[in-house]
Structure 1
Amino acid sequence: MRVLKPIKLFFISILIWLFFYVQMPVEYLYSGSIFFPVFTLFLFSFSFIIGISSLKVRSINFLEVASNKKLKQIIFILFFIGLIGVLLKIYVGIFNTEIFTAEDIFEKRLETMGKELNSGFLGIIASVLFPFAYVTMLMAIYNYKLFSKFILFTIIIVGFYPFVETIFMGGRTIIALLGTTFLFVLFASYNKNSNAPVYKINMKTINLVNLPKILFKKIVFIPLLLITIIFTAYSVDVVNKRLTRFGYGDRTFRVWEQKDYQWVKFDEDFKKEYFRSSEEEKAKLIGYYSLKHYFAHGVVEYVRLSNQLDKTTGYYYGQYQFNVFFKFFRAFGIPLKSNTEMQSVVERKAVYKTFFGPFYIDFGLFGIIIIFFWGRFVKRVYIHAMNGHTQYVIFYGYLATIIITSAFINFLLGSSSYYLFAFFMVLLLFKFWPNNLVFVMKK
């Protein structure tokens, strides 16, 4: 099975960040030294690479190949778990939070964002279960030859629920996470089920990446291009709707330049171009800038964060990074810190801090050790994915998305962690489910 190596994905992530950063018509501002933050960021990155390199293929035990019977049984079980989660999600959105029936969805979203457990215990159960619908869809697509068109279509329809909900709510992050993971698994399925020729892109003697030739055929290239254009237009529209809601107008530059917002200094040429443009062109300029800012600002925010924190030994030791799982215990009255309380140590909220920022908040410099073992874990999943094991192929698609975006965002943070939980449960199910289980109905 051909999948991109994790180290290559990591360097691609850095190149993506650099590509957008050099385009930014702003100067990012910060206080304090840049040496310590950049040095720790280097140590995190180096530790991740060393962790990957330290695990040798020969040290990993080969897994038993799952039979088609086992695959179908597990996929059907997970489908029904995911379906229950989706139905509960819809019920909670209509009757508990009432966000699906609100006149102003964006206003309702702002109202509920700062509240924990607002959907009750039922909402927690729904949040844990509904990602299984998406994970099931990935498994079915990778093994699509095992299913009839009707069953495959049904699984895909239910599995696409997270996309529909995110668009309905006016979000983007989850679409990027799940959409990129979907593409990784789709290409893996293509490689598995066809004799897939590839274009090898090399730099001298170093192979950078192998891309399936089908990517450059009109039947694939045009839909991918259309999806990219539609998502970009959707992102621009989301930004401008939010700016309209807050009534910034031509004050947008002044607001974004403030220290408690983006804390940047816009280029005068960009400002002049903006103010002499039509309203439609203004919306495009500010929308495209905002989209590029999402890619570019993570490293700067990490610098700001590490300069701002008082401690270098960490604060919450995992609770900040995986707060969504601790909500379950807080629902039973266990006195753990809420998300609001944990955010008190962070001056700049609701910003990306690269993949490593949350680790630094949780563990400080000790996070460098955690990242080493994270690298070894990623390598283990990668090797099993290379051997074509379904549960690891789809998991590596998710991890590949996390790695290729690690220079600007941490996709393990927040509600994205529910998908991580679902992938882990799939691994456990494959480990303990018999390979040739037969159900016999007794008379």
Structure 2
Amino acid sequence: MNLDFIKKYNLVKSTLFGFLAWFILFLLFPLKVKYELEFLPILYIALNYVFFLMGLKSLTSVKRDKQTSFSVNVFVLKKIMYFIIFLAFTGFFLKVLDKFYLRDTSFGNTMSENRVLLAQSGPSVISIISAITNPLSFIPLFIYFYINEKKPLLFYVCLFLFFSASLEFIVLGSRSGLFILLLLFGLYLFFFKRIKLSLKKMILLVVLLFSLGIYSINLFITRTTDFTGSDEKSIKHILTKANYNFTIEPTTATKESIINSDSKIYQSSYLGTINFVQYYLHGMYEFGYLYNNYSSDHHYGAYTFNIFAKFLNIILGTEIDLEKIQASPPRTGVYTTFFGPIFIDFGWFSLVFMFFFGVFQKSIYNHVLRGRIQYVPLLFYFLIINFFFPVINFVNGAQGLYTMSAFILFAWIYTLLSGKIILSRAGGKVKYVKILKSKV
């Protein structure tokens, strides 16, 4: 296992570099702040960072002599991969059944119409099961790379499953979901050394990212056109009336330059750049507004970890009012950094939450250093979460909680199927059974 990669891009670095990236973008781009951050929101964010880092540092990293790449039985791992493929395809089938047949979403509908249909129909047992099992589609490609398999058909099956999640993100116009997909794919490629950067590849990567940016902003324009009626009106709306313009907006000169441009490529690329930077930066200022104007009760996890509340409502018949909880922020439909949702849930008790969140992440990191590959996908997702602390909460955003639950489920499945189940202890002898036996 590539432990050098794990140690080089660790949890502390991802956290600090994420804040540095936010600060650099803030300095570089011409945006006008309309709602200034006050002292208490800044203090709240700073202390949450400190307590999280304290949690990470509270556990000692595994010492070098105990760091290992465990010898994994490839035959057993292949069986686990095929089992995960079965679960992932089941989740994909249930997802298609739920979204396109039971709840009537369609590529023929606008993105706004699809979102309304999903909101009106509400969750079901099928939707919950599919939402948990479908993210297992990220796992087969990870195992395929790990065992260094050379079967093209199996590779394409794993690749299809990995990107199958994009189906829902495209239907709903979720750019953050597509972004997570690409970040995970990139982490896989670098972790398994499937790509080495050269000048040619760097140029190709820049072109790819630029093209993705153009597609992303065009997706946003299309989504906005659903209610504005034309691309021209959509561009003006994005620059002047989009939700995140409440706290931070482009300068007047920037807006005029984009609106008056005759070049579609220039217009899309500049608008895409400014839009991306606004998306990236506005969460801090929105958090300041949230902190100063939040008047509802705290929800103690039901806002950030809402799928567990959904599960309780469906399975146990509880009556947690999720609509009321999700509508409790003074402004919805905006990013409020990682700390907005946990402030809504815990207030200043979030310091305790962040400390133990850091402890939990560090325990997963130590498992990986000990060679337990089943925890690597979860660790990768933590790296993404930490980097984007100043931007968005990727636990309750971009279906993050479903993804995390699936990665934890994979770790349990792997541990169960590859380990020994002790049946009895008698006379100093242990009787056990292995679910998956090694090939003789």
Q: Give the TM-score, by structure 1 length.
A: 0.84
Q: 2:141 aligns with which of 122, 137, 140?
A: 137
Provide the C-alpha distance between the structure 2 equivalents of 1:369 and 1:315, rounded to a whole number of angstroms. 15
Matched, 1:215 2:220: no
Q: Please tell me whether the aligned partners of residues 115 and 172 of structure 2 are also in contact (alpha carbons under 8 angstroms).
A: no
Aligned to 1:244: 225
For 2:316 and 2:225, the matched residues in 1 are separated by: 40
Instruction: Name the residue aligned to 1:375.
Output: 358
1:123 to 112, 116, 127: 127
CA contact (8 A) 1:29 1:264 kept: yes
Task: Give the aligned partner of residue 286 of structure 1.
Answer: 271
- 1:51-130 to structure 2, matched below 5 A, reads 51-58=55-62, 65-100=71-106, 103-115=108-120, 117=122, 120-130=124-134
Match of 1:152 in 2: 155
Q: 1 CA distance for matches of 2:173 and 2:316?
A: 32
Distance, in Å, in 2 between the alignment partners of 1:409 and 1:167 is 20
Amino acid of the structure 2 residue aligned with 1:236: I
CA RMSD of aligned residues (A): 2.8
Q: 1: distance between equivalents of 2:436 and 2:406?
A: 25
CA contact (8 A) 1:137 1:156 kept: yes
Q: Which amino acid is 1:178 matched to? A: L
The 1:116–1:138 alpha-carbon spacing in structure 2 relative to 1, beyond 3 Å, is farther
Q: Tell me, what secondary structure is at the counterpart of 1:22?
A: helix
Map of 1:269 onto structure 2: 253
Amino acid at match of 2:289: R
Count of residue pairs the alignment pairs up: 411
Equivalent residue for 1:428, pick from 408, 412, 433: 412
Structure 2: which amino acid aligns with 1:383?
N
Report deviation, 1:305: 1.1
Match of 1:233 in 2: 214
Deviates most, 327-336 or 413-422? 327-336
Distance 2:269 2:63 in 1: 52
Shift of 1:85: 0.6
What is the deviation of 1:296?
0.9
For 2:20 and 2:181, the matched residues in 1 are separated by 21
**Any residues of structure 2 matched to 1:160-239 within 5 Å, and which?**
160-190=163-193, 214-218=196-200, 220-239=201-220
Write out per-residue CA displacement over residues 331-358 of structure 1, whole angstroms, 9 at most, x where no aligned residue: 2462343432113321110111111211
Instruction: Indicate how the Cα distance of structure 1 residues 332 and 396 shifts in structure 2: closer, same or farther if over 3 A, else same.
Output: closer
Superimposed CA distance per residue, residues 315-336 of structure 1 (whole angstroms, 9 cap, x where no aligned partner): 1111111112221222246234
Q: Separation in 2 of the partners of 1:253 and 1:428? A: 44
Identity of aligned residues (%): 22
- Give SS of 1:354's match: coil
SS at match of 2:207: helix
Q: TM-score, normalised by structure 2?
A: 0.84
Go from structure 1 to structure 2 and tell me whether the alpha carbon gap of 1:272 and 1:157 turns closer, same or farther (over 3 Å shift): closer
1:2-59 Cα offsets, whole Å, 9 max, x none, are 221111111110122122223443322237x711000010000011111111110259
Q: Which runs of 5+ in 2 are unaligned?
A: 420-433
Contact 2:239 2:250 in 1 (8 A): no
2:239 touches 2:255 (CA, 8 Å); kept in 1?
no
CA contact (8 A) 2:31 2:250 kept: yes
Equivalence map 1:264-413=2 (5 Å): 264=248, 266-278=250-262, 280=264, 281-310=266-295, 315-332=298-315, 334-413=317-396
Q: Is the 1:392–1:427 contact (alpha carbons within 8 Å) kept by the matching residues of 2? A: yes
Q: Distance in 2 between matches of 1:178 and 1:427?
A: 20
Cα offsets for 1:93-140 (capped at 9, x unmatched): 33112213x53231322313533625x332222212111112222232
Structure 1: tracts of 5 or more residues without a match: 192-211
Residues 322 and 253 (structure 1), Cα distance of their counterparts in 2 relative to 1, 3 Å cut: closer
Stretch moving more, 417-426 or 53-62 = 53-62
Q: 2:45 aligns with which of 31, 41, 48?
A: 41
Aligned to 1:26: 31
Task: Summarize the Cα distance change of 1:271–1:262 in structure 2 as closer, same or farther, 3 Å threshold.
Answer: same
Structure 2 CA distance for partners of 1:253 and 1:182, relative to 1, 3 Å:
closer
Most deviating of 427-436 and 129-138? 427-436
